[in-house]
A = this chain, B = another copy of it.
Amino acid sequence: MSATEHDSQLNALTEKMVAWRRDLHKHPESGWVEFRTATLVAEELDKLGYSLALGRDVICEESRMGVPSAEFLAAQKARALQQGALEKWIDAFAGGFTGIVATLETGRPGPTVGVRVDMDALDLEESSDCAHVPEQCGFASINHNMAHACGHDGHTAIGLGVAHYLIANKAQLCGTMKLIFQPAEEGTRGAKSMADAGVVDDVDLFMAIHIGTGVPDGEVICGSDNFLATTKFNVDFHGVPAHAGGNPEQGRNAILAAAQATIGLHSISRHCDGASRINVGVFNGGTGRNVIAQHAHLQVECRGENNEINDYMFARSKAIIQGVAQMYEVDFDIDVVGAAQRSVPSPDWVTFIADKATSLQRFKQVHHELKGSAGSEDATYFMERVKQHGGQATYMIFGTELAAGHHNDKFDFNESVLQNAMVLLSHVVMDAKEFA
C-alpha cells in the first residue's frame, strides 16, 4: 500500500472512530448494563471476521462485583433495545454478562497479543451547559444519570479501530490477536470476572490503555505504574429501632455503630512498606430524629501501594467492623463491590513499546513510566494473570487535552488521541513478533 493510500485509509478509519465514540457517548451505559454497546461491538467485530466469545463464556459469574439488581438489569436491557441494541446479540449479554473477546488466529507462528479496552460509563448526569462540546455537537448523553465522563467511549472506539487496522494489515500479522472489551471498570468491578474466566491465560504480551489522566496532549506513557491495589466494599449495620425519648435503652443503634466504624476505619495504622488509603465516602443512616436508628449504610474503600498492604487494610477493616457490631450489639454485612490490584509493568515489554512509539514519530514525548500514586484500575487483574502465566504486561496512557477532569460532568477530550492510540497499539501488535 502506498503512503497516500495508507493516509486515506487512516483518515477514513479515524472518522469511523470519531463516529463510534460519539454514538457511544450519546448512549452511555453504566457497568454491567452495556447492552447496546456490547451488541454493536460484537456486530462490528463479527463482520470483520474475528472469532467471538461472549457473555458467560468470558465472564466468571461468581467473580463479578457490584452487579445491579435483576430489575435494573432487565429495565436497562429494554432501554438498550429501544436505543438500537441488536436483538441478534443481546441474549448473550443478558443478566449483566456484557463482555466480549475477539480472537484472530493467523496460523503463523508468533506470540498471542492481548489488548484490553473498557466500555462502561459513569453514574453521572452529563452537563447540559451549551459550551460543553458534546452538548453543542449533539452527542451529549441521553441516558439519565449515565455519562461517558471518563473516556471509555474513546477506549471502545480505539479498540474497534485497532480491530479494523489489524484486518486491513492482516498479511503482516503473525501469532494470535485477542481484543478484550470489558464491562464495569468503574468501581473496579469487571476485570476480575474476565481474568478468572481465563481469557488472558494464553496471552504472551498484554496491553491495557487509558486516555487522559493528566498526561499532556500528544505524549504517551508506555508503562504506567501509578495504581494502588484497592478493595471497594459496602457495610450495612442492622440494629433495633426504639423511641429515643421513651425507651432509648431498648434500641440497638446502627448510626452509632457506623459512626464508630467510620472513626475506627480511619484510625487503622499506617504500613511501613508503603502508601495505604482508607475512606468512608458515603454514610446514610436512620429514618427520623426521634428514633434510635435501625439501619446505617457505609460505602468504603481501602487501597495499598501493593496487594499486601491493601490486604492488610481490608483485613483490619473487617476486624474493626466486626468489633464495632459487637460493641453496639448490631448485625452487619460487608459486601465487596469492587477490587483492583497493583501490577508493575514488565520492563522489557515497556521498552519495546516505547521504542516503537518513538519510531512512529507521532508523539511529542514518549515516557517509560508515570510516577505518583493516584487511583486504581482493575486491568491489573489481567496484568497479574498474564505475568503469572509467564507473559509480559503493561498499562499505557495516551495524553490528550481535557475539557474538565475525569468524573467531572463537563469531561471531554481531544479526539485526535484516538488515531494516535490506535496506530501505536496496532503497530505494537503487528510487530510483537520482533519482541524476543
Contacts and interface: CB of A to CB of B under 8 A. Distances in A.
Interface of A: 187, 228, 230, 232, 243-251, 253, 255-256, 258-260, 262-264, 266-267, 269-272, 274-293, 296, 299-301, 303, 312, 316, 319-320, 322-329, 372-376
A279 B296 CA distance: 14
A265 to B, nearest CB: 9
A321 to B, nearest CB: 8
B277 A288 contact: no
Contacts of A290: 279, 281, 301, 375
A301 B270 CA distance: 14
Contacts of A320: 327-328
Given A279-B248, A281-B290, A375 B243 contact: yes
Contacts of A319: 326-329
Contacts of A276: 270
Nearest to A233: B289
A232 B289 CA distance: 8
Q: Main SS of chain A's interface residues? A: mixed
B277 A282 contact: no
A283 B255 contact: yes
Given A251-B269, A269-B253, A277 B228 contact: no
Nearest to A230: B245
A312 B247 CA distance: 13
A246 B187 CA distance: 15
Nearest to A252: B269
B376 A245 contact: yes
11 contacts: A244-B303, A247-B272, A249-B269, A255-B281, A256-B263, A266-B267, A279-B290, A279-B291, A282-B285, A319-B328, A323-B325
A287 B293 contact: no
A279 to B, nearest CB: 4
Nearest to A321: B327
Contact of A263 (B263, B289, B323): B263
Nearest to A293: B281
Contacts of A375: 243, 245-246, 290
A296 to B, nearest CB: 7
Contacts of A272: 246-250, 275, 372-373
A288 B282 contact: yes
- A287, A288, A375 — most chain B CB neighbours (10 Å): A288
Which 6 interchain pairs have the tightest Cβ spacing?
A323-B327, A323-B326, A244-B279, A259-B259, A266-B267, A259-B262
Nearest to A276: B270
Given A259-B259, A279-B289, A293-B282, A327 B269 contact: no
